[in-house]
Amino acid sequence: VTDLHDWRQAQEALRLKDAELAHTTRVMTMGEITSSIAHEINQPLGAILNYGRACLRLIKTGSADLTEIADVLSAIVNDADRASAVITRVRALSKKTPPGIATLQVSDLVTDILPLVRYELTKWGIVLKTDLSPDLSSVMGDRIQLEQVLLNLVINSIDAMKKVSEDRRRLSIEARSHVSEEKPFILIAVSDSGVGLEPEDLPKLFEAFYTTKPEGMGMGLAICRTIVEGHGGRLWATRNGDVGATFQFTVPVRLEEHPPSSG
């Protein structure tokens, strides 16, 4: 009984330690993309300012008809929503929240993190392609942790593409159904046309503190793998046939609860 108790405590401690580390690296990631985040908030704020001025002008010159003003106001509301959604994501990712399993839509996870890197993608001339089938099954997982995985993979891809010629910078995010050992998963693949991976680097990528970046800590992929495996999935890297690398991970599909049989 004591053994079992110790084992449980060890598991719990490990889980807490991982969550702690995941939080620390998440905050550091936020630090890396502050200019992108600032831009994603400033842009709608600037638009709101312009719309507001336009509205005032319409009212002052008396040339306004109400439907016109309503249009401008709804544009203001949209932009305010956009800025506020970014702030909500940043707060959620920066906060220390205990892990919690929920039913999630992979497409929502992608939509959540894209605004945080959109400016970075534009700045580096990276063409983004997403292929997220809308009728994919829901998955079970911790929203913040899974967004952290996606964000890390996307930032790694962006880094890998900074060093290649601008006209070949392409990022793709795809999700599809996947079966492994007869269990249903959703497979998410982040693929880039960056510098790619040497075969001898493949086994090292997921080791803690393995980095080829002057500013890197080498914790990103180690954390990603811990998170994904904590969810019962797998994370692995492959070299693309032509250029670049693909990182893909699986997350278990949320199984339908069977209605109680009346038999």
Ligand X SMILES: Nc1ncnc2c1ncn2[C@@H]1O[C@H](COP(=O)(O)OP(=O)(O)OP(=O)(O)O)[C@@H](O)[C@H]1O
Which listed residue (99, 184, 218, 252) binds ligand X by CB under 6 A?
A: 218
Residue 217 in contact with ligand X, rule: CB under 6 A: yes
Residue owning tokens 């401008």: 72
Minimum gap (Å) between residue 149 Cβ and ligand X: 11
Contact partner at residue 211 from Mg ion, ligand X, none, CB < 5 to 8 Å by partner kind: ligand X
Which listed residue (104, 132, 245, 251) binds ligand X by CB under 6 A?
A: 245
Question: Using the 8-state DSSP alphabet, how is residue 214 labeled?
Answer: T
Which listed residue (110, 220, 225, 251) binds ligand X by CB under 6 A?
A: 220
Residue 174 in contact with ligand X, rule: CB under 6 A: no
Closest CA to 117 of 10, 45, 190: 190
If the CB atoms of residues 197 and 251 are measured against ligand X, the closer one turns out to be 197
The angle at the Cα of 261, spanning 257 to 263, to the nearest 5 degrees, equals 170
Contact partner at residue 47 from ligand X, Mg ion, none, CB < 5 to 8 Å by partner kind: none
If the CB atoms of residues 220 and 233 are measured against Mg ion, the closer one turns out to be 220
Residue 148 in contact with Mg ion, rule: CB under 5 A: no
If the CB atoms of residues 26 and 89 are measured against Mg ion, the closer one turns out to be 26
If the CB atoms of residues 51 and 148 are measured against ligand X, the closer one turns out to be 148
From its phi and psi, is residue 139 left (phi > 0), alpha (psi between -120 and 50) or beta? beta
If the CB atoms of residues 44 and 220 are measured against Mg ion, the closer one turns out to be 220
CA atoms within 13 A on the CB side of 19: 15
If the CB atoms of residues 76 and 223 are measured against Mg ion, the closer one turns out to be 223
Contact partner at residue 184 from ligand X, Mg ion, none, CB < 5 to 8 Å by partner kind: none
From its phi and psi, is residue 54 left (phi > 0), alpha (psi between -120 and 50) or beta? alpha
CA 164, CA 206: separation in Å to the nearest integer?
A: 23
CA 262, CA 132: separation in Å to the nearest integer?
A: 37
If the CB atoms of residues 50 and 212 are measured against ligand X, the closer one turns out to be 212
165's tokens:
């010629």
Q: Which residues in 101-160 contact ligand X (CB under 6 A)?
A: 152, 156-157, 160
Q: Which residues in 154-173 contact Mg ion (CB under 5 A)?
A: 156
Q: How many residues bind ligand X (CB under 6 A)?
A: 22
| Helical residues (DSSP H) of the chain, grouped into ranges | 2-32, 34-60, 66-94, 106-123, 143-161, 220-230
Residue 220 in contact with Mg ion, rule: CB under 5 A: yes
The angle at the Cα of 232, spanning 226 to 233, to the nearest 5 degrees, equals 75
Closest CA to 177 of 222, 108, 131: 131
Contact partner at residue 218 from ligand X, Mg ion, none, CB < 5 to 8 Å by partner kind: ligand X
Enumerate binding residues for ligand X (CB under 6 A).
152, 156-157, 160, 192, 194-197, 205, 210-213, 216-222, 245
